[in-house]
Amino acid sequence: MNGFFDFARKEGFPTQFPANKTAVTVDVLEAGLILASVMLILCFYMIIPGFRRKYQPVIFVRVTLSLLIGAILITSNFGQAWEVGEITTHTSYKAGAKEEILATVGVRLGLRSVNVTLLQTEDKKNSKLPGEKIDYNERFWWTWDQGLFGFGPYAGVLQQSFRQAQNRGLPLPILWVVDYFTMDGEGLRYGRHYRTAGWYAHIAMWAAFPCWLLANVLFISVIRYGAYFSALTGALQLLACLLWVVVRNPNPLIIPFEAGNITTKYGIHFWLTLISGTACVIIGIVIVFFDLRYPDDIALFFGIDPLADYEEYHLTASELAVVRQKVYSEVVRQKVYSDIGMVEFANPDVPDTDKTQPATRCVLKRRTTVRVAQKSLFRKPTTTAEDENEIPLYLNVPRQGHS
């Protein structure tokens, strides 16, 4: 096999190629979280055709809303676009070099780090640095210790990363931007305030995640509790946005360049968290309202037995009178009429008299402590329709009045 395994090799050694260094094109963690969410949604969509046709739209809505909220929770927690800003300007590239480049400098702030990008926008033919590929994407973490002042071994993670970037010789625009986050004195405490805001906001986001899980579990058992946890999930997301807005920095971040200043604005992950939190609160309130006023409809929407939230009572005449008086007082107070829904059951084998068989009534009462907005605490069982085909037909048996 001479000439096959030794092709393009020098002196019999394996072929070696230099490293092909490329710029970061995508956030791998964020892309992985999005991919996992999409795969989970598709898996649930694949089993929807297995349900009955009339329930498929309901299940589609429930699955889509629930998994979309969960995807936003995780993606926004680890996302890098809570605040963004960029500018296209002429700037120096290397220390000690007089050549300038036309590039776009971008800043992306997340809960755990700051991301700085540098991309050359001018044509390579007109570039003053021929053969130089300028496409940088550098991330500087600040999780979570502030550390001592300076850049020594006991300084914060961000300060130590900045010193390592200087030693590696990163471009000047990137170092110029990150330098604003390493300062920690007087009114220049951008790094400290953004780190503190990210710390509190990420705690609120992590607290919202188990609330979202509990809401999904409770929606298949106790609908109202699921609505409470859904509203709590939204409240924690809104709290995360509020903490980021209030704690992040009292002074606006302004980084000057030749063509202007880099100023930040709220990014996609901030707005997604705000919208998701508002939607969760509204959904929770709407579900609580429907559970109070239309319990049967909301139970069917979530695929739960409408009678699962009721307890059955058999009351005598004296007990029934007490219940009637309480219900009548509640009806008068609310100024609405509501049927208390009681059905009398008599024993057909025993004469129905006061001495032999006391009148009893079956009452279904909801397990709830909310009485003001409740449509009715009581309901009567649905009467089962009789089917004539189920009545037995006896042949060759003489009937009364027939020969």
pLDDT of 106 over the 70 cut: yes
Better pLDDT: 174 or 309: 174
Nearest to 342 by CA among 383, 384, 380: 380
Report field, pTM of the whole predicted structure over 0.85: no
pLDDT at 52: 86
> Span 125-131, mean pLDDT?
75
Q: What are phi and psi of 104, to 5 degrees?
A: -105, 120
CB atoms < 10 A from the CB of 278, how many?
A: 14
pLDDT mean across residues, the chain: 81
33-47, 106-120, 230-244, 382-396: the lowest-pLDDT one: 382-396
pLDDT at 341: 40
Domain ranges of the chain: 28-80+193-298, 83-170, 307-383
- Report residue 262's pLDDT band, with 50, 70 and 90 as the boundaries: very high
Residues 6+ apart with CB under 8 A from 255: 107, 176, 177, 180, 261, 262
Per-residue pLDDT tens over the stretch 319-363? 777 766 766 565 555 544 444 444 344 444 545 554 444 456 677
pLDDT at 2: 64
Nearest to 139 by CA among 120, 116, 162: 116
- Report residue 196's pLDDT band, with 50, 70 and 90 as the boundaries: very high
pLDDT at 356: 46
**Which H/E stretch holds residue 105?**
strand 100-109
Q: Which of 181-185, 303-307, 385-389: highest mean pLDDT?
A: 181-185
Provide the token pair at 298: 């909301």
Better pLDDT: 194 or 123: 194
Per-residue pLDDT tens over the stretch 365-397? 766 655 555 555 555 555 555 555 555 655 565
pLDDT at 383: 52
DSSP string, 188-246: B-HHHHHHHHHHHHHHHHHHHHHHHHHHHHHTTT-HHHHHHHHHHHHHHHHHHHHHHHH
